[in-house]
């Protein structure tokens, strides 16, 4: 099968074409030789990208760029339509304040068997403004270029925080069985190592340790 690679006009070549057509009234056959395109390519360029003002290089280039944008939008819309089930579940679950894009995608991924797009694809849909959600509805995130935020300082400021074992006990904790402290001890390599989940009963100080192979809350089985 013969594959033909067409040379595409750029802005510079379009302006040259405009000058040759208007100022010098150069024949198409000579223009094709000067610009290095076939005669049919030059004729196709004039036909496709001329406006009511004739062939003007800048207007022709803008018309070409708009055509590309429309093609990309149509392609994106067709891609979105392939994931109708995902879109329906996203609308039901997403909440700007409490259940953001990342968490909604994670939830659908682990609760449904139908085909879902990648998280990056979902954000591309949102940024396009063509999907059910737009960028204004997303949860605010810190920009990478700004100063990093310390989570503890964000939550409690510069106050001195006592560890839980030094905070004292409510008398109900001392007299009633069933009040537990829970800690997660993360492995050295978070994504590859095992982890430990510890439970300590506050009245008896009786303890329980469970080994976890995965921190994924949807796969956690105690």
pLDDT of residue 43: 93
pLDDT at 193 over 90: no
Say yes or no: 22 and 69 in one domain. yes
Residue 23 lies in a domain: yes
Say yes or no: 62 and 21 in one domain. yes
Say yes or no: 87 and 74 in one domain. no
Residue 152 lies in a domain: no
Instruction: Report d(CA 193, CA 9) in Å as an integer.
Output: 55
118 contact partners, CB below 8 Å, separation of at least 6: none
pLDDT of residue 142: 47
Residue 73 lies in a domain: yes
pLDDT at 210 over 60: yes
Q: 88 with 116: CB under 8 angstroms? A: no
Q: 17-36 pLDDT, tens per residue?
A: 999 988 777 889 999 999 99
pLDDT at 216 over 80: no
Q: Which domain holds residue 42?
A: 11-78
Q: 69-82 pLDDT, tens per residue?
A: 888 888 888 888 88
Residue with structure tokens 């409690």? 156
Domains held by the chain: number: 3
Q: 7-19 pLDDT, tens per residue?
A: 789 999 999 999 9
Say yes or no: 73 and 87 in one domain. no
Say yes or no: 29 and 67 in one domain. yes
Q: 79-94 pLDDT, tens per residue?
A: 888 899 999 999 999 9
């Amino acid at each position: 099968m013969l594959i033909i690679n067409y040379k595409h006009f750029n802005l510079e070549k379009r302006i040259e074409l405009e000058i040759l057509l208007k100022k010098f009234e150069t024949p198409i056959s000579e223009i094709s030789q000067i610009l290095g395109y076939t005669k049919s390519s030059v004729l196709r360029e004039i036909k496709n990208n001329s406006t009511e003002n004739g062939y003007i290089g800048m207007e022709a280039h803008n018309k070409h760029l708009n055509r590309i944008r429309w093609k990309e939008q149509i392609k994106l819309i067709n891609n979105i339509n392939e994931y109708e089930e995902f879109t329906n579940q996203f609308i039901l679950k997403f909440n700007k304040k409490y259940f953001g894009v990342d968490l909604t995608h994670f939830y659908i991924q682990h609760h449904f068997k139908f085909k879902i797009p990648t998280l990056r694809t979902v954000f591309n849909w949102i940024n396009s403004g063509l999907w059910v959600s737009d960028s204004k509805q997303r949860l605010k995130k810190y920009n990478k270029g700004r100063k990093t935020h310390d989570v503890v300082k964000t939550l409690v400021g510069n106050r001195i925080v006592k560890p839980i074992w030094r905070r004292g006990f409510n008398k109900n904790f001392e007299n009633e069985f069933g009040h537990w402290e829970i800690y997660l001890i993360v492995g050295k390599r978070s994504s590859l190592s095992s982890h430990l989940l510890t439970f300590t009963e506050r009245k008896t100080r009786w303890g329980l340790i469970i080994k976890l192979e995965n921190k994924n809350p949807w796969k956690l089985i105690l």
